[in-house]
Amino acid sequence: MKQHSETLFTLITFLVLIVAFYFLGYWLIYRMGQATPLMLSVGAATITTCLIRKRKFSSLGWQWRSGQEGSKYQYINYLIPLLIALVSYLVIWLFGFGDVYNADFLSTLKDNYNLSHWNNLAILLLHIGIIATISFVVSLPSILGEEIGWRGFLVPELAKIMPFAGVALVSGLIWSLFHWPLIFLGLYGNDVTPLPYQLLVFSVFITSTGTIMAYFRLKTQSVWPAVFYHGSSNIFIQKLFTPITVTTTNSAWYIDEFGAVLAITATLVALYYLKKGNAEFTR
């Protein structure tokens, strides 16, 4: 009973600090012109919680898990979001919710890379190579700053007081609610679909994603699979599949993180890991 009360108090402390640091991160967004401060605010809240509640920083899951067994999970969590995005956008293109091969995007890439003489296929392959490696690695520090909170701290703390299904859903919903103010303010999302639709679809997608990441956090006792998953998902959706898609007047209902197709695909994958988690992490 004491353990349960201690955990609840720690979780309340964490959530209060998340809100407090959120305002600082939000203020810095406008000063720096990027979302990194808001992501790092989660890490700041986590570290402060650990100091107040005397939690060891090692409990956040820094260990990589050495050898091939450890690296395997990083590869898996790099590939899962890529496959979810690929399957989703194949559905989008095949059913006419959007069309592939946005020539304007490729033209912009040629200008950005200062390679206007390259053909479209070559510039696309170069772009894929760069975002899959350099852009991915560059994004990891800010993503780690966020993930040490959601998966590093929150998931194992919730696992002390509830079964895996509860851990997955609660941590995923909290993660989605963290983004809601940005959607309300129009800093995140689109200006086509109704706000309630965006909130619903985005929350389903994020909660499903969080379920998969929660499984691997508990499976490996490491935060790194979640960092790799988060980075891969951001990179491939935001920098490849969405911009390469030619949109129609109805595309916003289906594409990107605020469209139905990605949410449905992620949910199907999440149900598989929810079942595995319920079986493997039975208290």
Per-residue pLDDT at 280: 94
Residue pair 150/175 in contact (Cβ under 8 Å)? The answer is yes
**Measured distance between the N- and C-terminal CA atoms of the chain, rounded to whole angstroms:** 16
Give the three-state DSSP class for 246.
Answer: strand
Whether this model's pTM surpasses 0.85: yes
Per-residue pLDDT at 153: 97
Per-residue pLDDT at 14: 95
51-79: buried (b, 16+ CB within 10 Å) or exposed (e) per residue?
A: eeeebeeeebbeeebeeeeeeebbeebbe
Per-residue pLDDT at 187: 80
List C-alpha distances in Å: 133 to 87, 119, 232.
21, 22, 10
DSSP 33-100: SSSHHHHHHHHHHHHHHHHHHT--GGGG------HHHHHHHHHHHHHHHHHHHHHHHHHHHHTTSEES
Task: Tell me the average confidence (pLDDT) per consecutive run of 10 residues in the chain, 283 residues long.
Answer: 83 94 73 69 93 91 70 93 98 95 94 94 96 96 94 96 96 95 87 95 97 96 96 96 95 96 98 96 75
